Amino acid sequence: MPGRDGIAGLVCLAGSLGLLALTRGLPHPALVPIGPGFYPRIVLGVTAALSVVLVLADLLERRRARAGAAATVEAPLPLIRNPRLVGATFAIFAGYVTLMPLVGFRLATALFVLALQAALEPEPRRHWLRIVLAAVFTAWLTHLAFEGYLSVLLPRGRWTGF
């Protein structure tokens, strides 16, 4: 029987393969060399491959644990090690989704990356410049890739207009 990691890997594998099958039904425009299913297929393919790796790693770990069964039994790890951080991450993401239609993709993404990095950084006051630069660079690079290279219009803000 697979462990928690193996089960998570199997669930992710099933989900990514199911979604990958659904991308076959996406229309392919005649004038564009890369259709709308290209990048989702890459992401879902990588997710499926990593899920297989996770399942195999779990099986190998269980095999090693059975071989060393005479050793002391360790207590299982808690399911969530830092529930406050998990809650903060969900709250920051909810704020991102809420702000995007109001302030637009660029500003909302910069604020999201800034807030998430500050929440995840053990001592954010020491690294504010790096956090701000990473947030601005991430928003700029994502905007450049999607609007400049892929010609995908990103959400504009009702309050900001950009």
Per-residue pLDDT tens digits for 43-61: 999 999 999 999 999 999 8
56-92 per-residue burial string, b: 16 or more CB within 10 A, e: under 16: eebeeeeeeeeeeeeeeeeeeeeeeeeeeeeebeeeb
Q: Which residue has the higher pLDDT, 70 or 135?
A: 135
Cβ burial, residue 139 (10 Å; 0-12/13-18/19+):
buried
Q: Which residue has the higher pLDDT, 153 or 111?
A: 111
Q: What is the distance between the alpha carbons of residues 89 and 117, in angstroms, rounded to a whole number?
A: 10
pLDDT grade, residue 149 (50/70/90)?
confident
pLDDT at residue 28 greater than cutoff 70: yes
Per-residue pLDDT tens digits for 32-46: 777 888 889 999 999
- Residues 108, 96: contact at Cβ < 8 Å? yes
